[in-house]
Structure 1
Amino acid sequence: VNWSGVPDGLGTFTYLNGNKYKGEFIEEERSGLGTYIWSNHEDREKYVGEFTNDKFGKVGKIYYKNGQIYDGEVFEDLEYGKGIQTLPDGRKYEGTWRRTKGDNITKWEITGYDKDEKKILEISEGEGEGSYVFTNG
């Protein structure tokens, strides 16, 4: 905390909903390296990495409750850019990720996953169903 009572430097902040951030602050915003832990997120456990302008920064790891780990670039708190998704059984999806949300659907577009293959995964939120689309048929 700086002289005016604003978080600045290393610290821990616990939100009213139980989520917690531990890391660097610059003038009240999460900025620099840190860890964000969700207390009750539907699928995520924690994010470890960079923060910029109070959001996930350029690079980090997202840990999921089902054991998956995303390690790579992030943007606006989503997987976005070059990264590797490691599944609990050890399989890995590596490539360029584009995760978008809208109309209650989360969409991942992964290019470079298997040579020049492009994979699109759409999941209807709350239903647990999904589909894979491969450009090679």
Structure 2
Amino acid sequence: MGQFNYDRDDEFDQSDLIDRGPYELDNGAIYKGQWSREGLRYGRGVQMWTDGSKYEGYWRNDMANGRGRLIHADGDVYEGDWYNDKAHGKGVYTHMDGAQYDGEWKEDKQ
């Protein structure tokens, strides 16, 4: 799996964001990336959960928002648009066995 392509930096005013090194959240997940001045995940960031799942992409108000990629612990991958922590908009879901859905999503549903 290649590097995630951040292609929408114009979505966020970078001057209001703070870069912060790895930070452990209450649920044990580790987040590294940008934060708002109010202390919320906001802008570019990567989060790794204790089960091995990883999200890399854009955040807004502590939720995945914008373009991002979630690699599930079982190896399945969703890459596409997110809204309020859910797959929402155009996206591709690729199962470990190679089966794939490429299309529209609404609140985590195909």
TM-score, length of structure 1 as denominator length: 0.61
Higher relative contact order (CA 8 A, sep 6+): 2
Which structure carries more helix by proportion? 2
User: 1:67 & 1:15 partners in 2: Cα distance?
Assistant: 23
Shift of 1:96: 0.2
User: 1:51 & 1:16 partners in 2: Cα distance?
Assistant: 18
The answer as to 2:109 corresponding to 1:94 is no
Pick aligned residue for 2:72 from 45, 54, 64: 64
Contact 1:9 1:26 in 2 (8 A): no
Identical pairs, percent: 31
The answer as to 2:93 corresponding to 1:82 is no
Per-residue deviation, residues 25-49 of structure 1 (Å, max 9, x unmatched): 1211111111111114xxx711100
The aligned length equals: 93
Residue of structure 1 equivalent to 2:42: 31
- Larger radius of gyration between Structure 1 and Structure 2: 1
User: 1:93 & 1:17 partners in 2: Cα distance?
Assistant: 30
TM-score, length of structure 2 as denominator length: 0.75
Provide structure 2 residue ranges, at least 5 long, that are not aligned to the other structure: 1-16
Which structure carries more strand by proportion? 1
Per-residue deviation, residues 63-83 of structure 1 (Å, max 9, x unmatched): 112211000001111111100
Cα RMSD (Å): 1.8
